[in-house]
Chain A
């Protein structure tokens, strides 16, 4: 009896040791994966910074490119920065109001069936490859009319819409329903309740979502190749013409035979990367701030 009991506890401690080993193995694997993810970002940032920092100067941001010059001249990709500002700005102006209205409809007015349907549609739209959006807008706006900054902005707006709508939906759902009830119980119509009571609570969250979406679309290349890539070298702010953009410029410069162009491509990539990094940090900061504010209102 006692021998039997001993062997059993022996068995048990064997099993315990195995479980502990498996646990340690899984923990190590998870840690390595996390480290790998951070390392990928680190390597990307480091290699872009190492190669781009040398060509990074004020000329890059302020001077247009000079093609076919035999003597070295001061040049940059100012046209691309101008174009990106115009196109991303226009895309935001298109996607932001529509995205907010979609979120308001889904969160405040839609029946449960419509709500899940639209949510699914937004998630699918978010998953549509950017190049597919590019072809779609090419067929819709570019064929017969030619490329334009507007067409590019529209393509980017299509990519931005689900991002803005989903993040706005998320903050709308954080607004306590007791606030809506307080307003409705006064006999205030729903649209007025939404506009004056609910929406002001979400400004921080909407800004966060928009910032992240801007950071995301600022680096999109594929849709712009179809819609706004056949461009001149002068700086232009006119969205009716095709405008150069930073990602497309990086793509084109990297195909050039001139090594100086390669350096400029890296430098432009570094600027884009830094912008996205700061936008993401800013978005995080806005998000924690608005969460805290909403928490206080609860």
Chain B
């Protein structure tokens, strides 16, 4: 893995350093929108999780969701591929238009949604199968059987894991380190050629070196995919994301607590000149 030399000495104030090597973003109206989310409200039984979240996710960008624990970041990202459907008593209202089609509509099959919107989870969760089968199993089940070996190799290469595992593809995936397992999970997700990759705190269970590898990977992956990442690590959001959404916890009229979107803007803007006081408090470390 080649590492670009990073300038660490310039970090003085505030706590978060925004990298400047990120490409300047084209004006937002010219970007293609992958998701248009309007008034998304979700609850677990009587307990509200998020209320009235509206934002657009753009193609081939990394969009980060940041905010304190319990602000509904994970709930939000799991709405995007209907993963919350599996939780009993979960309810969601509003619309999530994915390339114009509302994926919360009754006639939409969540299996088809998840087929094009992949997900990487907080803790690495490889199947208890071989490294090869972890990537190949999804391909086989979904009928992508042509050039199986080539597809597996490409996915592992894209996930920056191929060189480390090419000599032991038949070994159990559980023998890999945590960071390698997470990259294997990324390879598994991108092997089936999704359109969007959702990442729910993908580096929170990993050490700094593995985290760096995953972040580097995101820079490369956004050329082919649109990425939405949940993170509670602000530095990480600043490093990898083009757009950043800040969620916070609010208290409703009846004292119930729920997450809501406070501010959504280009990452540089969120970290250097946030419009909302709450965002500023959070990114400068005064709260959270």
Chain A positions 179-214 with a Cβ under 8 Å from a chain B Cβ = 179-190, 192, 196-197, 201
A297 contacts partner chain B, Cβ-Cβ < 8 Å: yes
Chain A positions 41-87 with a Cβ under 8 Å from a chain B Cβ = none
A112 contacts partner chain B, Cβ-Cβ < 8 Å: yes
Contact (Cβ within 8 A) B115 A187: yes
A2 contacts partner chain B, Cβ-Cβ < 8 Å: no
B232 contacts partner chain A, Cβ-Cβ < 8 Å: no
Return A151 CB to nearest CB of chain B, in Å.
41
Contact (Cβ within 8 A) A185 B189: yes
Residues in A with CB closer than 8 Å to B125 are 176, 178-179, 181-182
- Given A186-B188, A186-B189, A196-B137, A181–B111 Cβ distance below 8 Å? no
Contact (Cβ within 8 A) A111 B88: yes
A185 closest partner in B (C-beta): B119
Residue from A176, A189, A197 in contact with B111 in the complex, judged by beta carbons closer than 8 Å? A189
Residue from B81, B128, B192 in contact with A297 in the complex, judged by beta carbons closer than 8 Å? B128
Contact (Cβ within 8 A) A178 B121: yes
Task: Tell me which of A111, A185, A187, A201 has the highest count of chain B C-beta atoms within 10 A of its own C-beta.
Answer: A185
Contact-residue bracket for chain A = 20 to 34
Residues in A with CB closer than 8 Å to B88 are 111-112
Chain B positions 153-201 with a Cβ under 8 Å from a chain A Cβ = 174, 185, 188-189, 192
A143 contacts partner chain B, Cβ-Cβ < 8 Å: no
Task: Tell me which of B81, B118, B119, B128 has the highest count of chain A C-beta atoms within 10 A of its own C-beta.
Answer: B128
B123 contacts partner chain A, Cβ-Cβ < 8 Å: yes
Chain B positions 101-150 with a Cβ under 8 Å from a chain A Cβ = 111-116, 118-119, 121, 123, 125-128, 137-138, 141-142
- Given A178-B121, A182-B185, A188–B128 Cβ distance below 8 Å? no
Contact (Cβ within 8 A) B121 A183: no
A188 closest partner in B (C-beta): B141
Residues in A with CB closer than 8 Å to B142 are 186-188
| Chain A residues at the B interface, C-beta cutoff of 8 Å | 111-112, 176, 178-190, 192, 196-197, 201, 296-297
| 8 closest A-B pairs by CB | A187-B115, A185-B119, A178-B125, A186-B138, A187-B114, A182-B125, A297-B128, A189-B111
List 14 A-B residue pairs with CB atoms under 8 Å apart, sorted by A's residue number: A178-B121, A178-B125, A181-B119, A182-B121, A182-B125, A184-B114, A185-B81, A186-B115, A186-B188, A187-B116, A188-B138, A189-B111, A192-B141, A196-B141
